[in-house]
Amino acid sequence: MALLAVDTGLRTGLALFGRDGRLAWYRSQHFANRSTLKRGAYGLFGSIGPLDRVVLEGGGPVAEVWRREADRRGIVVRVIGAEVWRGTLDAFGDRHRPKREADAIARRVIEWSGASRPTSLRHDAAEAILIGLWGVIEAGWLDGPPAEVLG
């Protein structure tokens, strides 16, 4: 079982976490319009395997595509605002520069998880990683951010 974190938008950040709370993979994906997003979400859910949860950051029609597909498959969905996962940055120190801090923390999550290191890390993928970290903590899969990630 797993948790999929999505930083919603036509430029989408995706991060998949295993039941052990570790990051399995992450990526950024661009969808040209809502039609390609619908096909992409359907295909992605079909390719992942069993999911326990989906955590979406964002709202509106783009997030609704992800929520509907997860609902259709009977997957628990949490829709949050950026302020929710950014609140977890308190544990990491400076939250006044969230995008810069997200990149640094996401790289530590990647390292701790043993996931493939990025050559470059888009901010939407970095944010999806932190959305997922919040999600696995909220789900009780981890007690809190791992010490190695706290820096």
Nearest residue to 59 (alpha-carbon basis) of 44, 81, 32, 27: 81
C-alpha gyration radius of the chain: 14
Whether the pLDDT of residue 79 is over 80: the answer is yes
Q: State the Cα–Cα distance between residues 140 and 10, nearest whole angstrom.
A: 30
Distance from CA of residue 23 to its chain's centroid?
9
Query: Which of the residue ranges 36-50, 56-70, 113-127 would you say has the lowest mean pLDDT?
Result: 113-127
**Cross-strand bridge partners of residue 13:** 7, 28
Q: What is the enclosing helix (H) or strand (E) of 114? A: none
Closest CA to 128 of 47, 54, 43, 32: 54
pLDDT tens-digit series, residues 104-149: 889 999 999 999 888 788 889 999 999 999 999 999 999 988 888 8
Task: Give the separation between CA 14 and CA 25, rounded to whole angstroms.
Answer: 8
pTM greater than 0.85: yes
Please say whether the structural domain 2-150 has been given the CATH code 3.90.1300.10.
no
The confidence score (pLDDT) of residue 119 equals 78
CA distance 131 to 41: 18
